Amino acid sequence: MAKIKYYYDTETCRYEQIKLTKWDKFLNFMGFVSASLAFAIVLMILFGVWFDSPKEAMLKKENKELKYHYDILSEKISNTTEMLAYLEERDANIYRVIYEAEPLPNEIRQGGIGGSYRYADLLDKGMEKEELIIDTYKEIDELKKRLYVQTKSYDEILTLARNKEKLWASIPAIQPVSNSDLKRLASGFGYRIHPIHKIKRLHTGCDFSAPKGTPIYATGGGKVVKVKTDFSGYGKHVIIDHGYGYKTLYAHMQDFAVKRGEKVKRGDLIGYVGNTGSSTAPHVHYEVRKNDRPVNPINYLYQGITPAEYEELLRLASIENQSLS
């Protein structure tokens, strides 16, 4: 039952009943409805702030799971990248050194795979977190490129390993003359006093003194590519191409024992010690060239001598004396 309201009339000194018009009732009703709606809206806003809708709760759960799996994937990519870097380092500094192969240049290993335009199809789909997704795709593509390069490098090393026996037989590894007492090494590689011009010049090989007619031997297997006589310089000399970027030169010979184009093995007789060309005493000037650049022959005298004998050869070769040619 609706409550009846009264007011006190001062003229009649009596309580009179308040009578509401239809308009008053409408306004009261609309005020009640408006207040109820405002209260409901406030409650909905607060509920939306404090509580998630079922759809929002499901999306947040999915995002949390995706973030979890993305973190695992990123960690696996990082671990794989570290392992690949380790393999690349071993490939460059161990395997290729053993088989006398040049390391792969960094520009090949780290070659680019293109810019963001490669992933333009992702951008067209209106995906969120586009930068994160594109960066991940780029990391994976770069990793795949480096893995491919590494597999090709291992193919090359495998080929070198299969040819290992031939490689070791070809690399210069012995002294060019019999030198059991080690006294025949007269001058080493490096800057030495030239015997004729009396100034310091780069001596591009080692001089082994010996009597005329002493046998000279090939220090590794290969093919004789030059048999030549000069009236100065190297005099009568022989050059052998051993492959794998190696060549050896034997100068100031008295006579030859091989012909151009002939194949020789390590230890084969190729000529005899002489005193031809720019030479001041009977000896053989011996050079080792790697990719046509002279290198220290002492570094390749590792076969047929003991560690102590090798140390003595190093000592003799380091003396800055006068060369014989």
Sorted by where each begins, the domain ranges of the chain are 6-50, 74-162, 185-318
Residue, of 227 and 98, whose pLDDT is higher:
227
Residue where the block lists tokens 């490096």: 190
> Considering only 123-132, 256-265, 282-291, which range has the smallest mean pLDDT?
123-132
Tell me the Ramachandran region of residue 152: left when phi exceeds 0, alpha when psi lies from -120 to 50, beta otherwise: alpha
Mean pLDDT of 6-33: 72
Tell me the CATH number for domain 185-318.
2.70.70.10
Q: What is the DSSP string of 147-180?
A: HHHHHHHHHHHHHHHHTHHHHHHHS--S-SS--T
* pLDDT at res. 149: 80
Residues 6+ apart with CB under 8 A from 272: 212, 213, 214, 215, 216, 253, 254, 255, 257
**The model's pTM:** 0.54
Q: Is the pLDDT of residue 1 over 50?
A: no
Residue where the block lists tokens 């306004």: 27
Mean pLDDT of 227-239: 92
Give bridge partners of residue 111 from the DSSP assignment.
Answer: none
The confidence band for 175, taking pLDDT boundaries of 50, 70 and 90, is very high
Mean pLDDT of 70-81: 83
- In contact, 287 and 294? CB cutoff 8 Å: yes
Say what percent of the chain tops pLDDT 90: 26
> Considering only 59-63, 181-185, 229-233, 299-303, which range has the smallest mean pLDDT?
59-63
Distance CA 206, CA 298 (A): 8
The amino acid sitting at 135 is D
Residue, of 234 and 69, whose pLDDT is higher:
234
Measuring CA to CA, how many Å separate 32 from each of 27, 37, 57, 196? Answer: 9, 9, 34, 122
Q: Is the pLDDT of residue 113 over 60?
A: no
